[in-house]
A and B are shown apart, each in its own frame.
Chain A
């Protein structure tokens, strides 16, 4: 059975390794500051006890007052999991650092989030639309997206 690490446990480890990165924690989730995502992920991946070697998915949710980027992480080595979240409060130009340099599996998923939710991933090697065509107006997964009149 995959053990879901508690947010408290991971937040304590993170506080030692990457000071002031953690915003909040609850049950199995940890919220970090968006600008610190890359350092946090690097620690989670490289730490011999945590060893999150597998990025399951990258999602984004539009909560209107902020965007939330959600990373589901699993350690195949230790069979435990964690949900890492980052809130982007800048609605005009939301951005988080890309984690492609750590997990290549983030490549297409970050492009999808960029395409449909409009969150830019800084440092992504090939950040362009994936499902929709270049020049498509807006980002359909945002809650304020309106279908253009035909």
Chain B
């Protein structure tokens, strides 16, 4: 009698350690091979966009902290840039430098989390993650000096920042900039050439460049396949045109490239912070913009290169104290569009790794 097989549909999540939050995938398997994937969202939907319509422009900053909660600074920056564009407010130079430094430190912190969990999912249980969190802790300490908070920062304001960096911030930052490259070397020594890592990630979860662009992917996912598209270069905001850095790109767009791009981006971010430290002028850290901003009626789209990709805020004003509409273009949600194409044909074990390599955050996906 011939052996008959049938595809099996499995629900992965919403409670699963590797799903980075509450995320569910309905996967159809043929044995261990993936035939179809359907992501299911909404378990962390808090209605941030609707809540924003009932708060003043300044109050919404606290909501943005809670989108991608491992990269609050980038969210703050994207939002205040959109409001400043809408209300035509120009922050002073010192504030712009402080914001860029904060956003770049946040990029390092976010990539450390991404790399740490990525390796954890490969089975490198505990050690690499703890190494990454050790350095992230130092960045959180720096943020604590800046604004008193560690995760939900609300550091930025429309027209500037909340407060100037205290005197003890600068030596601490200098020390961090000196030791961080050694830590990155340590990860690379330990992991980048590791045979298990190479075997599990090279040529796995490949997505060609044209497909990536068509799926509106952004950030390291897009750059890993060789597309040189970074908003800090393509559409410079704040003071990015004054600092030197290059955009690391991959070649193939596999899991390994996505990992390498993140490691390389951390080095570039350190380089940017270093230059900002040299260039930062003395002066005010906030314009005289009122706390109760009333932008003229109209709309504006502000975007930044957040650690996970292009984060944008589309704001519509009716002239009142609260946004009439606040749409968030979240990179995590849109990068997930490509997930299906990355996974079909691969095995269950590759699924967890590939999903980790996109680096999504459910707070931002569901909003």
Are A55 and B216 also in contact (CB < 8 A) when A1-B235, A72-B312 are? yes
Partner of B329, one of A56, A62, A132: A56
Write out the residue numbers on chain B whose beta carbons fall within 8 Å of the beta carbon of A72: 301, 312, 314, 329
Can you name the residue of chain B whose Cβ is closest to the Cβ of A70? B314
Are A56 and B310 also in contact (CB < 8 A) when A61-B325, A76-B213, A131-B42 are? yes
Are A57 and B329 within 8 A (Cβ)? yes
Partner of B234, one of A2, A53, A70: A2
Write out the residue numbers on chain A whose beta carbons fall within 8 Å of the beta carbon of B45: 131-132
- B125 CB, nearest partner CB in chain A, Å: 32
**What's the Cα separation between A129 and B227 when bound, in Å?**
32
Categorize the interface residue count of chain B.
Answer: 20 to 34
Are B47 and A105 within 8 A (Cβ)? no
Q: What sequence of 0s and 1s flags, for each residue 28-66 of chain A, a beta carbon within 8 Å of any chain B beta carbon?
A: 000000000000000000000000011111011110000
Q: What sequence of 0s and 1s flags, for each residue 207-229 of chain B, a beta carbon within 8 Å of any chain A beta carbon?
A: 00001011111000000000101
Can you name the residue of chain B whose Cβ is closest to the Cβ of A111? B41
Write out the residue numbers on chain A whose beta carbons fall within 8 Å of the beta carbon of B299: 61, 70
Q: What sequence of 0s and 1s flags, for each residue 110-150 of chain A, a beta carbon within 8 Å of any chain B beta carbon?
A: 00100010000000000001111100000011000000000
Can you name the residue of chain B whose Cβ is closest to the Cβ of A130? B41
Are B337 and A108 within 8 A (Cβ)? yes
- B280 CB, nearest partner CB in chain A, Å: 23
Are B312 and A2 within 8 A (Cβ)? no
| A-B contacts, 12 listed (Cβ < 8 Å) | A55-B216, A57-B329, A57-B334, A59-B329, A70-B327, A76-B234, A103-B215, A104-B337, A105-B216, A108-B333, A131-B41, A131-B42
Q: Which 4 residue pairs are nearest across A and B when measured between Cβ atoms?
A: A105-B216, A2-B235, A59-B327, A57-B329
